[in-house]
Amino acid sequence: MIHIKNNVFTLHTQRTTYQMKADAHGVLLHTYYGARTGNDDLSHLIQLVDRGFSPNPSEVGHYRNYSLDTLPQEYSTCGVGDYRMPAIVAQNTDGSHLVDLRFQGFAVHSGKYALEGLPAFYGTADDADTLTVTLQDPTTHLTVELYYGVFAEIRLLRASSVCLDFPQDNLDFMTFDGRHTMERELNRTPLRPGVQQIGSVRGTSSHQHNPFVMLCEHNADETHGLCFGAALVYSGGFEAAVESNPFHDARFTVGISAHHFCWTLEPGAAFTTPEAALICSPDGFTAMSHRWHRAIRTHLCRDPYKGRRRPLLVNNWEATLFHFDAEKLVEIARAAAPLGIDMLVMDDGWFGTRSSDLGGLGDWTVNEEKLPGGLAALVPRIQALGMDFGIWVEPEMVSEDSNLYRAHPDWAFHAPNRSPSRGRSQLVLDFTRQDVRDFIYDTFCKILRSADIRYLKWDFNRSLSDVWSAAIPPERQGEVYHRYILGLYEVLERFRQDFPDLLIEGCSGGGGRFDAGMLYYTPQIWCSDNTDAIDRLRIHYGTSFCYPVSSMGSHVSAVPNEQTGRTTPLETRGVVAMSGAFGYELDLSQATEEERATMARQNAEYQKYYDLIHTGDYYRLTNPFENERYTAWAHVSPDKREALISVVTGTAHSALPSLTLRLRGLDESLRYQVNGGSSFWGSTLMHAGYPIPAMQGDYRSIQLHVVAE
């Protein structure tokens, strides 16, 4: 998968090629990334020309055609003649900001590299190789090692975190943006001269922008066109930018946000950047998404839940908010068990004096007025009904009205002599501190060992602000944002190692920390605090470009919906939530017999189609941002012999034309039976289509089960 000759490094995956070359001056040139080629030296594509106001390195003398400002580089520097976005900036001991990296050497070994303290895709000697390229500044001896992990199905890089130079700028920049309760809405815009950038300065990957972005040809769509996707395996502040210069070249970078970032690098020390994963697809968005989904499921999410069935659960939050006790929880569980639900999750309000979001966070002791006898008494009652038990926690937060804060006010982020800003009436614990991390770990170990708890919902309900650590000297406060994330990863890894069978679901007000970094520790993430089925169509659509269905926490909630006030049929809420880690977010004890029968049927169908939904290939059949009449998607088994197609309509109107849906992903040469009835050739279903019966009313749904004969 890695071919090296004359300092030309060619990395092949099954479908793509990535190449760089160390030239005669030691500059590491980026020569190609795209559809698979041979092992030719592609530096012939680089034309050396004299462009005005582009200076030349001293070693080329008066030769004016060689300039760092015009060359495509693998890892761009600063202050030495390249005026585009740098991949690295450093302040030297003499006060200068010059960095001039030159090729020093390389190494190759079998298997996929790992990053100390950071999540990363993983692989063995059987399915991955690693190339390490070393660069060094000849004056300061600052050394940078670039790691490239190559799998048969995906391209994985780790640089700063990645810098890609494209020989053309006739591309579109695709980002996934939004806000709390409406995350990851697709935005697509052509590149224009200058810099286009998205990112987060919130200390998390954020609701506002996701650290997955794409570049694609103008005509690229689901089935055609060249596209590149990049995902930063990181859960903190980030920036992703693309710059188009006057010569119609494009430079793309992604990495840790530069906002308040300043890392002191001691002599002999090293700084490791997060991993960036890249996938190139010459065949449009769907093929790219399939590769992302497989890579995340098999090389990022870890045991035991990357292959094990997730529990079908009910969470009591929207049913009770803070107002519950043990009897109410048992009542909900008693109503859930006959419906085929596997687990009850107890949400916020079970600990300390917590009765609202104004206080109590940090005092993680069971409130025995609500739960007499504690978890040791409650959990067996739930298990006696045939269900497992899980809890909600928010370990990274503290309320000022708490015993923890009164004892350790320096454990929370806030600057000296300033009143801190609050989010949801809470402050953020300083996870850069080992004493804080040890306290959190020991506290929750005690809770987890007090009863048979199978699931943890790990929430984070605010952005970082007032970021100042009492444990770090003033001159190194620029390290706090990143050290916070490293501390979070350390704690999650300890739980991962010591409680290997515990299912942890990530959450940050829903989708505020939905990223590849968290998926390394938590195989599923609450997709959004917005449980409205129609809004979720858009949220799931954008999320699916990178992240697999198995990673999306998705529940049926009550109507009118808490976030939108919209009323949708229970059947439709089930169809939408079924395309994810399925569950319920309502008071099942108040359900009617008709509703209970519908839920029992939904749950049985979800279990029947579980493997198809979670491991099949996902197809976006419509774009809900463009098609308001209906939204359709499909799950297709890897062998193409089975598919589940889901359709949800919009608002009803009179005398609408009939609807015919063209399926995708089937085998043209096979005949398929639809919902146990008529059969058709795969070519017929994909090219001619299948008629969707008319459905009266708003927000109706239908599912088609298609099986090869």
Q: Is residue 509 scored above 90 in pLDDT?
A: yes
Q: What is the pLDDT of residues 145-155, one digit of tens each?
A: 999 998 755 53
Q: How far is CA 267 from CA 141, 475, 557, in A?
A: 10, 17, 56
Q: What CATH number is associated with residue 25?
A: 2.70.98.60
pLDDT grade, residue 360 (50/70/90)? very high
pLDDT grade, residue 157 (50/70/90)? very low
Q: Is residue 156 scored above 60 in pLDDT?
A: no
Instruction: Report yes or no on 277 lying in a domain.
Output: no
Instruction: Report yes or no on 260 lying in a domain.
Output: no
Strands 182-190 and 171-179: antiparallel
Q: Which ranges in 522-657 belong to alpha helices (H)?
A: 533-543, 570-577, 593-608, 610-615
Residues 514 and 659 in one domain: no
Say what the pLDDT of residue 160 is. 53
Secondary-structure breakdown of the chain: helix, strand, coil percentages, each rounded to the nearest 5 = 20, 30, 50
Phi-psi region of 62 (alpha: psi -120 to 50; beta: other; left: phi over 0): alpha
| Residue 676 burial by Cβ neighbours in a 10 Å radius (0-12, 13-18, 19+) | exposed
Say what the pLDDT of residue 304 is. 81
Q: Is residue 274 scored above 90 in pLDDT?
A: yes
Residues 627 and 608 in one domain: no
Q: Is residue 297 scored above 70 in pLDDT?
A: yes
Q: Is residue 267 scored above 50 in pLDDT?
A: yes
Name the percent of the chain lying above pLDDT 70.
Answer: 99
Task: Give the up-direction half-sphere exposure of residue 45: CA atoms within 13 A in the CB hemisphere.
Answer: 17
Q: What is the pLDDT of residues 317-341, one digit of tens each?
A: 999 999 999 999 999 999 999 999 9
Residues 417 and 438 in one domain: yes
**Of 615, 643, 678, which one is at a domain's C-terminal end?**
615
Q: Is residue 515 scored above 50 in pLDDT?
A: yes
Q: Is residue 393 scored above 80 in pLDDT?
A: yes
Residues 591 and 653 in one domain: no
For residues 215, 73, 273 and 90, what is the CA-based torsion angle, rounded to 10 degrees? -130
Instruction: Report yes or no on 692 lying in a domain.
Output: yes
Instruction: Report yes or no on 238 lying in a domain.
Output: no
Mean pLDDT value across residues 91-113 = 92
**Of 131, 154, 177, which one is at a domain's C-terminal end?**
154
Q: What are phi and psi of 683, to 5 degrees?
A: -65, -35
Say what the pLDDT of residue 83 is. 87
**Contact indicator for 195, 241 with CB cutoff of 8 Å:** yes
The DSSP secondary-structure symbol of 436 reads H
The DSSP secondary-structure symbol of 371 reads S
**Of 154, 171, 187, which one is at a domain's C-terminal end?**
154
Q: What is the pLDDT of residues 309-319, one digit of tens each?
A: 999 999 999 99
Residue 315 in tokens: 């969470």
Q: What is the pLDDT of residues 676-709, one digit of tens each?
A: 999 999 999 999 999 998 899 999 999 999 999 9
Among 160, 431, 130, 149, residue whose Cα is nearest residue 270:
160
Instruction: Report yes or no on 75 lying in a domain.
Output: yes
Q: What is the pLDDT of residues 165-190, one digit of tens each?
A: 999 899 999 999 999 999 999 999 99
Radius of gyration of the chain (CA): 27
Q: What are phi and psi of 191, to 5 degrees?
A: -65, 140
Residues 603 and 632 in one domain: no
Q: What is the pLDDT of residues 571-622, one digit of tens each?
A: 999 999 999 999 999 999 999 999 999 999 999 999 999 999 999 999 999 9
Residues 424 and 531 in one domain: yes
Q: What is the number of domains present in the chain? A: 3
Q: Which residue has the higher pLDDT, 104 or 306?
A: 104
Residues 644 and 572 in one domain: no
Q: Is residue 24 scored above 60 in pLDDT?
A: yes
Task: Give the up-direction half-sphere exposure of residue 283: CA atoms within 13 A in the CB hemisphere.
Answer: 9
Residues 417 and 562 in one domain: yes
Supply the mean pLDDT for the chain.
Answer: 94
pLDDT grade, residue 137 (50/70/90)? very high
Question: What is the distance in angstroms between the CA of the first residue and the CA of the last residue of the chain?
Answer: 39
Q: Is residue 496 scored above 50 in pLDDT?
A: yes
Instruction: Report yes or no on 105 lying in a domain.
Output: yes
Q: Is residue 502 scored above 50 in pLDDT?
A: yes
The amino acid occupying position 128 is A
Q: What is the pLDDT of residues 226-244, one digit of tens each?
A: 999 999 999 999 999 999 9
Instruction: Report yes or no on 297 lying in a domain.
Output: no
Residues 331 and 459 in one domain: yes
Say what the pLDDT of residue 152 is. 57
d(CA 15, CA 580): 29
**Contact indicator for 483, 151 with CB cutoff of 8 Å:** no
Say what the pLDDT of residue 158 is. 29
Residues 541 and 662 in one domain: no
d(CA 63, CA 56): 7
pLDDT grade, residue 96 (50/70/90)? confident
Q: Is residue 159 scored above 50 in pLDDT?
A: no
pLDDT grade, residue 655 (50/70/90)? confident
Instruction: Report yes or no on 271 lying in a domain.
Output: no
Active site residues: 515, 595
Q: What CATH number is associated with residue 510?
A: 3.20.20.70
Residues 331 and 446 in one domain: yes
d(CA 683, CA 54): 56
Residues 603 and 627 in one domain: no
Query: Whole-structure pTM over 0.85, yes or no?
Result: yes
d(CA 145, CA 404): 42
Sequence-distant (6+) residues with CB within 8 A of 222 are 284, 285, 286, 619, 620
Domain residues for 131?
1-154
**Contact indicator for 542, 529 with CB cutoff of 8 Å:** no
Say what the pLDDT of residue 155 is. 32
pLDDT grade, residue 101 (50/70/90)? very high
**Contact indicator for 302, 542 with CB cutoff of 8 Å:** no
